[in-house]
Structure 1
Amino acid sequence: MLESAIESLPLMQYIIGMKGEPTKADMMQYLTCWLCKGVYRDAHTINECMCTYCKGCIYKYFTENATRYKCPSCHSELGGKPLEYVVRDQILQNIVDSLIPDFKERDDKLKSILLKRLNEKRIQKGTYKPPVSIQKQTQSVNNTTTTENTLSQNSSGKQNVNIVDIEFKLVPLNDEDVNLRMPELPKKLKISQKNKTILTVKKHINKLIQEAIDNIEILCKNFPVADSHSLEYIRKTKWQNNSKTMVLQYKRKRKIVGNNRQDI
């Protein structure tokens, strides 16, 4: 039954009845969608009458008008749910892809250009809604970079438009005295403006783990740095490393009482 159905296809009838090898020009007339008059894009065949169309064309034809229940070209009756008879035709699509190897690539490129233009118009009209996957990805990126960008904000709370140009990370210093050790930050700080000071970094640590600012000590290569030092100054004078990411350490200070230092 399957063989007889395949043989009933116009293309197969042409190949069976012809003499010699079929030419590309001869075969293309049997690989053209009746609705859009172009070569098949994701060929789909109605298994009741074996007429083939582009998937987008035949789905649009039946969904635009619920009263359509016949094949658009041969008018075969398909009942109240015609799309149930529409199935993917990989054989014909493979023939198209073999005859026009770059067709799919060009078609995908054209779709991308058209979609971009359509989205630009939607953005102008205020009707654009990004796909759910992009919304989730954007939300994830925003959550990750919120902490990183906090140090790039000025005192008024508005983000500075200047380009951030210092990349660094904060790691807890494993001091021999366990009382001086501090927990890891829930979110790593990575980027800030080069003129931001160590005091700004301390304030941010304070917000993340509620450690008093006066109790926090920042170090670079195990050497303490002053609150007034900028990140750029530390990078040039203390870090002096070709590595792009500067590493700063943090721990609790020791409190000096007389000639003795005590844990805070």
Structure 2
Amino acid sequence: MALDARTVTVNLAELTEHLGCALCHGILRDAHTIPDCLHSFCKSCIYRHFLVKGSCICPKCNKALSPRPIATLITDQKLQEVVDRIFPEFKEQEAILEKEFYAKNNFKLREESGEPTDGANGSSTSPVASSRGRSKASTPTKKSHSVKPVGSGGILSCTRQFTIEVYPQETNARALPSLQFPFMQVNGNFKMFELRKLIRKRLKLPDEVQLEMACMGATVGPELSVHFIQRTIWKLQNQKEPLVLHYRRATS
């Protein structure tokens, strides 16, 4: 039987070579592309590669990248649309698994989007007892979690409250002062650039002192949220809450 003129037969293996992730060896999800070499990966895979491993090379071609390659990643929506058109069953299955994940972890997936209204960028900070031997009474009670889409990119944000510890990293002459209240309770959406502003304000640092944040020795970008860092760097290293972050003078 003759093929329809509009039908194109393609070897699946050839497609997965271009539409698959070299890190997880699966089909691309939330595709992100490295502009230097144009290789694409799942967002979670490439973020772990750069943040957890601290690598500055492309995991596919081994090309040396900038000192902070995570800051140059491009959200490749066009490529992801192609993947979803060719492999719609993967997107459908992911939606099912995502729903099961939210139910298992007591999350709520809200349909409505929009910016949070409880403080700047939906974040709130409050000092918590600044003693490592704090009693149960000083530990925040568990609250209901909610995850909702924010903005046009469809990026999920978490409104769960986290307790974090924040300390200066250096122990030499370049060390910055310690915060009076190193324990804070913040929203899961709380970004590192917001934390830097808060630290700068509380320490009354001069403008010439540039800060950067780190988790377990790895520099974390200003665009990353507490929730993202907790479930990637912190959780992958089998660490327990509260999340510990360090601030230090930015390296030139």
TM-score w.r.t. length of structure 2: 0.38
Higher helix residue share: 1
Q: What is the TM-score when the length of structure 1 is the normalising length?
A: 0.37
User: Which has the higher relative contact order, 1 or 2, with Cα contacts under 8 A spaced 6 or more apart?
Assistant: 2
Which protein is bigger by CA-based radius of gyration? 1
